[in-house]
A and B are shown apart, each in its own frame.
Chain A
Amino acid sequence: MDHLDQLEAQSVFILREAYRKLKPLAMLWSLGKDSNVMVWLARKAFMGRVPFPVMHVDTEKKFPEMYAFRDEYTKKWNLDLLLGYCPPVEEMDPTLPPAARSAARKTAGLASMIENHKLQGVIAGIRRDEQGTRAKERVFSPRGASHKWDIRNQPPEFWDQYATPHEEGMHIRVHPLLAWREIDIWRYVERENIPLVDLYFAKNGKRYRSLGDSDITFPVESNASTVAEVIAELETTKTSERAGRAMDHESEDAFERLRVAGYL
């Protein structure tokens, strides 16, 4: 087994644990590269099916290409798609910096989806290498009734034994991609031939490395227009993946505050 085989096997194991232990369960599908890989891994785990709904928490500010992609692959992959919408930015914590405040809408949208569907498990495609606070995450990360992440009191997690809900109203965030790196995602996309939104590929010397809302996500300079070229680029770059995400750079703890409150 090579590195990708091993990552795949572990993610499949995690998804099967989540499906067995958390009901009802749903998977977040942000339409980005990581969440497409995640949907793909679910199909690996369940012999070509995704036996739980996928959720898109829609800020209504995504790129048009992303909406088109969503419609196409919901059908092609036979997905049970749940849509959720986000409250307006005026209702968000005014002490947050502007981009983070905009991102907080998504937290609120997600929270209401979790409540509406009474979810016990939410599968999310975060990776440890994206951001420092994500590196501190568990594979099964318990969230209290208020959806808050209690960083200082995370349960032990070892030998593939994961936490399950043990209090009324709590749910578990499941992170099957935690051990993957950005380049693993791309190599897997290449190996499995997983479709992605075109915005990841360079046009006129620019491409998106990470996709979020269209108003707070910016392209990087690049000429990589195919999966193979993106991989070659990532093998040598030292620029961080989220360099194009405004909210990560506004203040030192902006991202941590978002995550503690339930953001991804």
Chain B
Amino acid sequence: MSDTLSASRLDAADREALLDTATPIVIVGHVDHGKSTLIGRLLYDTDNLQDGKVQQIIESSKKRGLAVEWSFLLDSLQIERDQGVTVDSTRIPFRLGNRQFVIVDAPGHRQFLRNMITGAADAEAAVLVVDANEGAQEQTRRHAMLLRLIGIRHIIVLLNKADLLGFDEQKIRAVEQSVTDLLAQLELKPSLFVPASARDGDNIASRSEKSPWYKGPILTEALAAVPSGNTRAALPFRMPVQDVYRYDDVRYVAGRIERGVIREGDTVEIGTQGSKARVAKVARWNAVDSNEAVAGESIALVLEPDVIPARGDMLFLPHQAPEKTARIRAHLFWLRQEPLRVGESFRLRLSTAEHQVTVASIDSVLRLDDLTEQQAEEVGPEGFAHVTLVAGEAIQFDPFSPGTSDGRGVLVDRNQRIVGGAPLLGPADLKDGHAIHPSAGEVDSAQRARSKGHKARVMWLTGLSGAGKSTIARLAEKKLFARGTDAFVLDGDTLRMGLCSDLGFTEADRHENVRRAAEVASILTQAGQVVIVALISPLVADRALARKIVGEAFDEVFVDTSLATCEQRDSKGLYKAARDGKIENFTGISAPYEAPTKADLHIRADGATAEQNADALVTHILSVI
């Protein structure tokens, strides 16, 4: 073949097919059972290799004193070629007749499980490669389990290296039976077994004369028969909000439709808050105008009234609400190198939503040697388990279902690292021994109020750094104490010394800081105290969370000092450091401050003394307790 590019026409049917969506196929199996060789052979035999590639592989093989090493096609990294292992997954486009596929090669080595998941999670079908001579090995079991957890139902088992058994029907049937039994334990039913030799090309793209007894489809025929992706358009509408933009005075609610169809004029319900709005416009740029959009499309909706949903809010049609619960049963595949224990907290990412969750119980752990589910205290590195997750608020989700994007939870640790996959199965029943049962107190709040002479209340002081929150809080505390009111200050720096010393200043950490402060304030109100919280708490959403945690006895107090005044005071030297770029995410400089729009008390602090401001706060407190 020359370097000259020649133009010739494909027929109309071919051209049509090339525009179809590619079907991802993942190739899995134990190390050395021949995955990479299979892929190389498959691409070569089906004429899917570019000229340069073959030459490259021949050269790289020669250099290492090997015969043509097909795995080099995918193992494009030096370490992979030198050590003969696949380090990371690869995706290679592949055309078979008039159908497009993407082949995903997943590393077989145990420590590379996370790379395998990276490649395999969205596959429509899997080819499980099993060395016919060796039978199923540990990675065969592990990978099969993973196929089950990520919901791949169509599995083709390739009994590779059948030449080592001389393509003997009886011997091959025996291996087939043992693999069938193994998969049955995982509730997996392979659609097909193909006896093959990837190295020699037997039953891959052409029928082998060495196995005349085998009448089933060869691999390429089996792939061509894989059903293409399920249509999600027929399911109830779901669009998780990805972001909200405002351009030219129009607010666009951006997101990808995960299921169903949305039409202009439809009324949608927004997240757990239950507010409703009408879809005034399905907005697109440079596209054929259409008043509807279907599953898979990334679009923007203009809503009426002009509500402002938050990222993560699910949009759905009112009579088709998803599940809503704070206790969730989940499968788990655990990717961290240290074990998981009960009580650990994570961020659960579910589509574009994030929730704080705690592992309330490890209900069972899968033992890979015999595939039985066992009770265990912890989930080991790269283990599989059933767990119960508990969240601080109700989570909306559709239970995990293969072929959809439903319930695909991912656990993220404090350092923003993905540590596990957690397909959400459904609401968890409260079981004895696992449930959290806060015991009701024998002393109620009315009794406490009578005894103290005042009611409990939380004053949540928000404002810029240097606005004077702590000063006002301390002065008010002193004044209240002097007149017998049981008041106590929780300020940001004190919290960060101890309770929140593990937190930084990212948006997620600040959110957690606010949550903890609110929980402590809530407990103190149960003890009958007036709690004055002095915390920048820059985001509306975080303060809304605090109000939710504390409940009715919550007042938002805006200590309104101009940025110029705060920066001029700069009592801690923080503004200077932020301006010099030494502090990231500094409120007012490099991070946003969202001022309250209707605070319960608005202290305009600029023109007044701290004493006057504290008096204003005390007056307000006395009027509500």
Mark A residues whose CB is within 8 Å of B: 1-6, 8-10, 12-13, 16-17, 19-20, 43-49, 118, 128-129, 131-133, 135-136, 138, 151-152, 154-161, 163-166, 179, 181, 183, 187, 192, 220-224, 229, 232-240, 243, 252-253, 256
Query: Is the Cβ of B408 less than 8 Å from the Cβ of A166?
Result: no
Query: Is the Cβ of A187 less than 8 Å from the Cβ of B298?
Result: no
Which residue on chain B has the smallest CB distance to residue A136?
B88
Q: Which residues of B lie under 8 Å from residue A12 when comparing CB positions?
A: 256, 298
Q: Which residues of B lie under 8 Å from residue A5 when comparing CB positions?
A: 296-297
The A-contacting residues of B in range 407-422, CB under 8 angstroms, are: 408, 410, 412, 415-418, 421
Q: Which residues of A lie under 8 Å from residue B19 when comparing CB positions?
A: 2-4, 187
Q: Which residues of B lie under 8 Å from residue A46 when comparing CB positions?
A: 245, 247, 285
- Additional A-B contact list (15), CB under 8 Å, known A3-B22, A158-B118, A163-B418: A13-B256, A20-B242, A43-B285, A44-B284, A151-B77, A157-B418, A158-B117, A163-B416, A220-B3, A220-B5, A233-B7, A234-B5, A236-B5, A238-B1, A240-B53
Interface check B92, CB cutoff 8 A = yes
Query: Is the Cβ of A2 less than 8 Å from the Cβ of B20?
Result: yes
The 15 sampled A-B contact pairs (Cβ below 8 Å) are A4-B19, A13-B298, A47-B283, A49-B247, A136-B87, A136-B90, A158-B121, A165-B416, A166-B416, A179-B91, A223-B7, A233-B7, A235-B10, A235-B18, A252-B78
Interface check B243, CB cutoff 8 A = yes
Could you tell me the distance between the alpha carbons of A165 and B100 in the complex, rounded to whole angstroms?
35
Which residue on chain A has the smallest CB distance to residue B581?
A118
Would you give the 0/1 interface string for B46-87, flagging 1 where the beta carbon is closer than 8 Å to chain A?
A: 000111110010011001000000000010111100000001
Query: Is the Cβ of B421 less than 8 Å from the Cβ of A232?
Result: no
Query: Is the Cβ of B254 less than 8 Å from the Cβ of A2?
Result: no
Could you tell me the distance between the alpha carbons of A159 and B258 in the complex, rounded to whole angstroms?
12
Size class of the B contact interface (CB-based, 8 Å)? 35 or more
Tell me how far the C-beta of A127 lies from the nearest C-beta in chain B, rounded to whole angstroms. 10
Interface check B93, CB cutoff 8 A = yes
Would you give the 0/1 interface string for B238-257, flagging 1 where the beta carbon is closer than 8 Å to chain A?
A: 00001101010000101010
Q: Which residues of A lie under 8 Å from residue B5 when comparing CB positions?
A: 220-222, 224, 233-234, 236-237, 239
Which residue on chain A has the smallest CB distance to residue B6?
A236
Across the interface, A253 reaches (CB within 8 A) one of B8, B53, B74, B78, namely: B78
Query: Is the Cβ of A9 less than 8 Å from the Cβ of B76?
Result: no
Across the interface, B8 reaches (CB within 8 A) one of A9, A118, A166, A232, namely: A232
Tell me how far the C-beta of B78 lies from the nearest C-beta in chain A, rounded to whole angstroms. 5
Q: Which residues of B lie under 8 Å from residue A19 when comparing CB positions?
A: 243
Query: Is the Cβ of B285 less than 8 Å from the Cβ of A240?
Result: no
Q: Which residues of B lie under 8 Å from residue A243 when comparing CB positions?
A: 3, 52
Among B53, B76, B283: residue with most chain A CB under 10 A: B76
Could you tell me the distance between the alpha carbons of A166 and B504 in the complex, rounded to whole angstroms?
11
Q: Which residues of A lie under 8 Å from residue B6 when comparing CB positions?
A: 233, 236-237
Query: Is the Cβ of A3 less than 8 Å from the Cβ of B20?
Result: yes
Could you tell me the distance between the alpha carbons of A161 and B240 in the complex, rounded to whole angstroms?
14
Tell me how far the C-beta of B54 lies from the nearest C-beta in chain A, rounded to whole angstroms. 9
Query: Is the Cβ of B60 less than 8 Å from the Cβ of A252?
Result: yes
Could you tell me the distance between the alpha carbons of A209 and B49 in the complex, rounded to whole angstroms?
18
Which residue on chain B has the smallest CB distance to residue A139?
B118
Could you tell me the distance between the alpha carbons of A26 and B60 in the complex, rounded to whole angstroms?
37
Could you tell me the distance between the alpha carbons of A99 and B50 in the complex, rounded to whole angstroms?
23
Among A2, A19, A43, A239: residue with most chain B CB under 10 A: A239
Query: Is the Cβ of B87 less than 8 Å from the Cβ of A151?
Result: yes
Which residue on chain B has the smallest CB distance to residue A138?
B118
Tell me how far the C-beta of B386 lies from the nearest C-beta in chain A, rounded to whole angstroms. 19
Q: Which residues of B lie under 8 Å from residue A152 when comparing CB positions?
A: 79, 87-88
Interface check B469, CB cutoff 8 A = no
Query: Is the Cβ of A166 less than 8 Å from the Cβ of B77?
Result: no
Query: Is the Cβ of A157 less than 8 Å from the Cβ of B118?
Result: yes
Tell me how far the C-beta of B152 lies from the nearest C-beta in chain A, rounded to whole angstroms. 13
Q: Which residues of A lie under 8 Å from residue B415 when comparing CB positions?
A: 166
Query: Is the Cβ of B88 less than 8 Å from the Cβ of A154?
Result: yes
Across the interface, A239 reaches (CB within 8 A) one of B15, B51, B252, namely: B51
Would you give the 0/1 interface string for B20-52, flagging 1 where the beta carbon is closer than 8 Å to chain A?
A: 111000000000000000000000000001111
Could you tell me the distance between the alpha carbons of A236 and B10 in the complex, rounded to whole angstroms?
8
Query: Is the Cβ of A133 less than 8 Å from the Cβ of B245?
Result: no
Which residue on chain B has the smallest CB distance to residue A156?
B114
Query: Is the Cβ of A9 less than 8 Å from the Cβ of B256?
Result: yes
Interface check B230, CB cutoff 8 A = no
Q: Which residues of B lie under 8 Å from residue A155 when comparing CB positions?
A: 114, 417-418
Could you tell me the distance between the alpha carbons of A138 and B418 in the complex, rounded to whole angstroms?
14
Interface check B140, CB cutoff 8 A = no
Query: Is the Cβ of A159 less than 8 Å from the Cβ of B405?
Result: yes
Query: Is the Cβ of B256 less than 8 Å from the Cβ of A47?
Result: no
Across the interface, B416 reaches (CB within 8 A) one of A16, A158, A164, namely: A164
Which residue on chain A has the smallest CB distance to residue B92?
A135
Interface check B566, CB cutoff 8 A = no
Q: Which residues of B lie under 8 Å from residue A8 when comparing CB positions?
A: 298
Q: Which residues of B lie under 8 Å from residue A16 when comparing CB positions?
A: 242-243, 254, 298
Which residue on chain A has the smallest CB distance to residue B311?
A20
Could you tell me the distance between the alpha carbons of A256 and B9 in the complex, rounded to whole angstroms?
36
Interface check B273, CB cutoff 8 A = no
Q: Which residues of A lie under 8 Å from residue B87 when comparing CB positions?
A: 136, 151-152
Query: Is the Cβ of B416 less than 8 Å from the Cβ of A232?
Result: no
Interface check B597, CB cutoff 8 A = no
Among A159, A187, A221: residue with most chain B CB under 10 A: A159
Could you tell me the distance between the alpha carbons of A229 and B8 in the complex, rounded to whole angstroms?
10
Q: Which residues of A lie under 8 Å from residue B349 when comparing CB positions?
A: 161
Could you tell me the distance between the alpha carbons of A118 and B559 in the complex, rounded to whole angstroms?
32
Across the interface, A221 reaches (CB within 8 A) one of B4, B79, B88, B300, namely: B4
Across the interface, B7 reaches (CB within 8 A) one of A6, A45, A224, A240, namely: A224
Among B93, B100, B102, B284: residue with most chain A CB under 10 A: B93
Query: Is the Cβ of A192 less than 8 Å from the Cβ of B18?
Result: no
Which residue on chain A has the smallest CB distance to residue B250?
A47
Query: Is the Cβ of A156 less than 8 Å from the Cβ of B77?
Result: no
Could you tell me the distance between the alpha carbons of A235 and B412 in the complex, rounded to whole angstroms?
43
Tell me how far the C-beta of A106 lies from the nearest C-beta in chain B, rounded to whole angstroms. 21
Tell me how far the C-beta of A189 lies from the nearest C-beta in chain B, rounded to whole angstroms. 13
Query: Is the Cβ of B1 less than 8 Å from the Cβ of A236?
Result: no
Q: Which residues of A lie under 8 Å from residue B21 when comparing CB positions?
A: 1-3, 6
Query: Is the Cβ of B118 less than 8 Å from the Cβ of A151?
Result: no
Query: Is the Cβ of A252 less than 8 Å from the Cβ of B59?
Result: yes
Q: Which residues of A lie under 8 Å from residue B284 when comparing CB positions?
A: 44
Q: Which residues of A lie under 8 Å from residue B556 when comparing CB positions?
A: none
Interface check B89, CB cutoff 8 A = yes
Across the interface, A47 reaches (CB within 8 A) one of B88, B242, B300, B335, namely: B300
Could you tell me the distance between the alpha carbons of A233 and B9 in the complex, rounded to whole angstroms?
8
Query: Is the Cβ of B118 less than 8 Å from the Cβ of A238?
Result: no
Q: Known interface pairs A233-B7, A235-B10, A238-B50. Does A154 touch B245 (Cβ–Cβ under 8 Å)?
A: no
Q: Known interface pairs A151-B77, A156-B114. Does A181 touch B242 (Cβ–Cβ under 8 Å)?
A: no
Tell me how far the C-beta of A246 lies from the nearest C-beta in chain B, rounded to whole angstroms. 13
Which residue on chain B has the smallest CB distance to residue A134?
B76
Interface check B439, CB cutoff 8 A = no
Interface check B555, CB cutoff 8 A = no
Query: Is the Cβ of A1 less than 8 Å from the Cβ of B421?
Result: no
Tell me how far the C-beta of A72 lies from the nearest C-beta in chain B, rounded to whole angstroms. 19
Q: Which residues of B lie under 8 Å from residue A48 when comparing CB positions?
A: 285-286
Interface check B122, CB cutoff 8 A = yes
Interface check B618, CB cutoff 8 A = no
Across the interface, B50 reaches (CB within 8 A) one of A163, A220, A240, A256, namely: A240
Q: Which residues of B lie under 8 Å from residue A222 when comparing CB positions?
A: 4-5
Q: Which residues of B lie under 8 Å from residue A10 when comparing CB positions?
A: 298
The A-contacting residues of B in range 393-443, CB under 8 angstroms, are: 405, 408, 410, 412, 415-418, 421
Query: Is the Cβ of B77 less than 8 Å from the Cβ of A159?
Result: no
Would you give the 0/1 interface string for B109-121, flagging 1 where the beta carbon is closer than 8 Å to chain A?
A: 0000011011011
Could you tell me the distance between the alpha carbons of A152 and B349 in the complex, rounded to whole angstroms?
25
Interface check B294, CB cutoff 8 A = yes
Query: Is the Cβ of B421 less than 8 Å from the Cβ of A20?
Result: no
Which residue on chain A has the smallest CB distance to residue B283?
A47
